[in-house]
Structure 1
Amino acid sequence: MEIKRFTLGPVMTNLYVVSEKGRGFIVDAVEKSNLVTDYINDNNIQIDFILQTHTHFDHVLGLEYYKKLYDVKVFASSESKGIANDKNYNLAYNYDNLYVPIDEYLEDDEIITDFEIKAVKTPGHSLDSISYLIGDIIFSGDTLFNMSIGRTDFPGGDFETLMNSINEKYRVLKPSTIVYPGHGEKTSLDYEFNNNPFLI
């Protein structure tokens, strides 16, 4: 499985293109970018769907564009229903025309059969934070970063809830699990549980 990271947008947010044998998907449609579309075209990747780890503005600025371009469904947490287009939750105060289209609302432990992706609800940074587990890798969104954790001072954020998500959902995974976060460099659960000041 090939994972290509693009860091884009006003707050340097990660968009991932994940592919295998000519098929793939996008994790967090951060921003419209020729870097992304050129990579997809140059590698002849058929984009099958988009996964959103949550619906804060910096993770969805390119969502409507990529959804229309590739004519695909968008998956997000069921908690996104009702808040994805609410500026009090998506924080898109400076983006009057932002629209966050979601087609499929996921429940905890639900499996997306293409690529055998497991939805893991991890609220705390936001009400609708959800991680995606594929084998020994996890896309954590803004739940867990390299040597840090997500902010909890936004509407719907809660420190205790975030820590419970990490301790209850991540600590049961293999320590070797590789973490692809919404911001910054990739890391591993083993490294974070032994070095991250919020977790040791």
Structure 2
Amino acid sequence: MEVKKFTIGPALANLYVVSKDGHGFIVDCADKDEAVDKYIKDNNIKIEFILQTHTHFDHVMGLEYYKNLYDVDVYASEDAKDIANDPTYNLGSYYHDLYVPIDKYLKDGEIIEPFHINAIKTPGHTLDSMSFLVDDDIFTGDCLFRLSIGRYDFPGGDYDTIIDSIKNKICVLDKDIKVYPGHRSSSTIGYEIENNPFLK
């Protein structure tokens, strides 16, 4: 599985293009960017769908663009149903034309084929936070960062909940799994268990 990261948008969020054998998907459409379009075109990747780890504005500003460009479905947590387009929750009140289209709402533990992606609810940063495990990679959105955790002071956030999500949903996985967060650089589960000060 090939993972290509693009750090873009007003809050420098990570957009990932994940591909294998000419097929792929996007994780978190932080914004539209010519470099993303070029990478997908140059590598002849057929985008099959889009995954959203959560629906804060800085992770969805390019969502409508990429959904329409590739004519694909958008997957997000079932907990996004009532809040995705509420500016109180998506923090997008400054962006009056922000629209968060979601086609399929995922339950905890639901498997997304053909890549066999495990959708794991990891609330605490937001109500609708979800991590996606595929092979030896996990996309954690703003739940777990390298040596840090996501903010929990936004609407729907909670410190005890995010710590529970990390310890009981993510850290129980194989320690060699690579962590791809919504901001900053990648890590591994084992590295975070040993070094992340929030997990002591």
* TM-score (normalised: structure 2): 0.99
* Runs of 4+ deviating beyond 2 Å: none
SS at match of 1:93: coil
Residue aligning to 2:73: 73
Residue aligning to 1:158: 158
- The sequence identity of aligned pairs, in percent, is 61
**Aligned runs of 1:42-191 on 2, under 5 Å?**
42-191=42-191
Residue aligning to 1:9: 9
Q: In the aligned structure 2, how far is the partner of 1:133 from the partner of 1:94?
A: 32
**Aligned runs of 1:14-53 on 2, under 5 Å?**
14-53=14-53
Q: In the aligned structure 1, how far is the partner of 2:48 from the partner of 2:134?
A: 16
Q: What letter matches 1:26 in structure 2?
A: I
Q: In the aligned structure 1, how far is the partner of 2:162 from the partner of 2:29?
A: 23
Q: In the aligned structure 1, how far is the partner of 2:165 from the partner of 2:63?
A: 26
- Per the TM alignment, residue 6 of structure 1 is displaced from its structure 2 partner at its CA by 0.1
Q: In the aligned structure 2, how far is the partner of 1:136 from the partner of 1:3?
A: 11
Q: In the aligned structure 1, how far is the partner of 2:199 from the partner of 2:129?
A: 19
Residue aligning to 2:193: 193
SS at match of 1:114: coil
- Per the TM alignment, residue 171 of structure 1 is displaced from its structure 2 partner at its CA by 2.1
Q: In the aligned structure 1, how far is the partner of 2:170 from the partner of 2:14?
A: 20
SS at match of 1:66: helix
Q: In the aligned structure 2, how far is the partner of 1:93 from the partner of 1:113?
A: 35
Q: What letter matches 1:82 in structure 2?
A: D
CA-to-aligned-CA distance 1:160-197 (integer Å, 9 cap, x gap) = 00011011101210011110000000000100010011
> Structure 2 stretches of 5 or more lacking a match?
none
> Structure 1 stretches of 5 or more lacking a match?
none
Q: In the aligned structure 1, how far is the partner of 2:46 from the partner of 2:71?
A: 11
* Residues paired across the two proteins, number: 200
CA-to-aligned-CA distance 1:64-121 (integer Å, 9 cap, x gap) = 0000000000000000001000000000011000000000000000000120000000
* TM-score (normalised: structure 1): 0.99
CA-to-aligned-CA distance 1:99-145 (integer Å, 9 cap, x gap) = 00000000000000120000000000000000000122100000000
